[in-house]
Amino acid sequence: MKGLVALHSYKGGTGKTSISANLAVTLAQRGRSVCLLDFDFRAPSLQTLFKAETDCWLNEYLDGKRELDSCFIDFSKTFNTRGSLKVGFANPSLKGIREMMTKDRKWEIKALHRSLELKTYLSEKVGADYAIIDTSPGVHFSSMNAMAASDLIVLVMKMDDFDTAGTKELVEGLYDVLGKRTTILVNRIANDLTTGQGRIGVMRELSKLSKLPVLGMIPCYCDLGDHELSGGRLIYAVEKPEHDFTKTMRTLADDVEKYLTPNSASASSTSQGDDRTPF
């Protein structure tokens, strides 16, 4: 397996779910075997995005009641992807969400073990090249488990004061401690801040936040309506292949693949100090 990527954020509404789904589809379109897992048990939304019907949830995998593979739905035929695209959903019912909010620490210990087993399972039993995990924002046990199990944490953030302050806390209190490769992805940033002096200014602000490398900056595609990108109505990589957002996702997929390639020079060069513009 090439890598397990966890997308996380301090706040909700950063576009994590949309990016996770589109990144997974983009990787599958180029022939990779991909698993996408919804670990946002507090506000599951991938099921709505994929318009899927299922009665098997990742909640049950963490409970130890179901095998992971039995909870996957294969979307490779639906989306006509070259590689397999298996998606596991979190239970969006109120009962399912409440159950996950009231687990005791004994359960959390088992859930951590099952989360840490993910990579071996997905690699050996599912044959996945990549696993993308959409996590719950903030400090939640399922997100922390996913990050502990991951090879790469992509921290999705917006450049507002609330998000930057909270993100600084996360970097110092969580990402640094876990010792995982972590990178920042700035989403929905004003177009004029993605290039030239604007970009330099953003980089300066981010360097105050942490020394983490920046994977990229995704402009705000406000012409589409905010709700479409953040609200999960469309998977652009499937339904709007020529849209700029989809093209951005292809660049993101390139960079994620580079990051997860052993001894990749580009992976280490995407630092805040250089002027490389991944996108």
Partner 1 sequence: MLKEINAGIGDLGKKLDRLIELQHKHSLKGGSEDSESATTLPFDVDSIVSLPDHLTKTAVVIAKLEKGTALDVSKETGRARAAESDYLNQLVSMGYLKKKRSMRKVVFYIEE
- Is residue 200 within the footprint of partner 1 (CB under 8 A)? no
For residue 65, the minimal CB distance to partner 1 (Å) is 17
Give the total of residues touching partner 1 (CB under 8 A).
17
For residue 51, the minimal CB distance to partner 1 (Å) is 32
238-254 as b/e: b if 16+ CB within 10 A = beeeeeebbebbbbbbe
Residue 234's alpha-carbon distances to 40, 175, 226, 267, 269, in angstroms, are 19, 31, 12, 30, 33
- Is residue 64 within the footprint of partner 1 (CB under 8 A)? no
Collapsing DSSP to helix, strand or coil, 62 comes out as helix
> Which region holds residue 44: left if phi is over 0, alpha if psi is between -120 and 50, else beta?
beta
Q: Which range, of 47-55, 103-111, 157-165, 192-200, touches partner 1 by CB under 8 A?
A: 103-111
Instruction: Name residues whose C-beta falls within 8 Å of residue 113's C-beta, 6 or more positions apart in sequence.
Output: none
- Is residue 109 within the footprint of partner 1 (CB under 8 A)? yes
Among 49, 56, 174, 218, binds partner 1 (CB under 8 A): 174
As a whole number of angstroms, the distance between CA 275 and CA 217 comes to 13
As a whole number of angstroms, the distance between CA 136 and CA 51 comes to 20
Q: Which range, of 173-181, 220-228, 240-248, 250-258, touches partner 1 by CB under 8 A?
A: 173-181
Among 173, 196, 201, 273, binds partner 1 (CB under 8 A): 173
- State the residue for tokens 């905010």: 226
Q: Is residue 51 within 8 Å of residue 275, measured between CB atoms? A: no
For residue 146, the minimal CB distance to partner 1 (Å) is 10
Within residues 132-151, the interface with partner 1 by CB under 8 A covers 141, 144-145, 148
Within residues 178-197, the interface with partner 1 by CB under 8 A covers 178-179
- Binding site residues, partner 1, CB under 8 A: 105-106, 108-109, 112-113, 116-117, 141, 144-145, 148, 173-174, 177-179
